[in-house]
Structure 1
């Protein structure tokens, strides 16, 4: 693992789960990890309810937008965390892949999305501790 590992979060639309995970890891890591997110079929915008639940904990996603998954993004990552993108994510030798089974926030209530956010936060904190040896 390099001095500053890079983590790529991937979901289908890059409008919910992967955006929340990237924002949470970036927040908790404070520069100790490089973070990216992408989608196998990016949406036009981030889910407004995701913006809302992240703002509740002080994380602003207004400058973020859904990005397409590229081979370059996967090649640059040390750890690739998939969240429901299935076989759309390219697999390269030497990369660490994690598959986090989480519900898609699309068409969910704000309370449901808060629960998803909190589950992602717990997983992100555990990943950060693993990557850096601290939290």
Structure 2
């Protein structure tokens, strides 16, 4: 899959087409308090602007799961600005790829957007070891996705490697 599409805007300095636009991925789960937040934060951390990541939920909760915030903070990843938000068809349509993480049939379908489902356990209410396992699972998946979307971009080492 080639998630990069041609941007029809022009470079202000040269007047020439600006080239490929930055791939956009939306991660969706039910409450937007766990899996989708982990995936978005990891993507933004590793991609450093090469891929834009959003996260949203089909039934967003009031806050991200505290156990998720704790696990990510232990890895040096900040979640203080994360707020659950409603997944909308417009959000999906603005993305090249929609990755669902347990939201099932409630996720809006938008023609032309590539969908993938990552069957990942819900970290909400889980013990530290389980949340770390879920973060490790998503870390592998996100890194593989970034190798696919930006194959020439060198990724920093995994946050899970001490």
CA distance in 1, matches of 2:54, 2:125: 24
**Structure 2 gap ranges (5+):** 6-20, 156-162
Q: Do the aligned residues in 1 keep the contact of 2:89 with 2:110 (CA within 8 Å)? A: no
**Shift of the alpha carbon at 1:94?**
1.5
Residue 17 (1) aligns with residue 17 (2):
no
Alignment match, 2:23: 5
**Shift of the alpha carbon at 1:90?**
1.3
CA distance in 2, matches of 1:23, 1:95: 22
2:45 paired residue among 27, 30, 40: 27
Mapping of 1:1-135 within 5 angstroms?
1-2=4-5, 3-134=21-152, 135=155
CA distance in 2, matches of 1:107, 1:6: 30
Give the number of aligned pairs: 135
Alignment match, 2:12: none
**Higher Rg of the two aligned structures:** 2
Higher share in helix: 1
Aligned-pair Cα RMSD in Å: 0.8
Higher relative contact order (CA 8 A, sep 6+): 1
**Shift of the alpha carbon at 1:70?**
0.7
Deviations 1:50-104 (A, max 9, x none): 0000001110101111111111101101000000000111112211111000111
TM-score by length of 1: 0.97
CA distance in 1, matches of 2:38, 2:108: 22
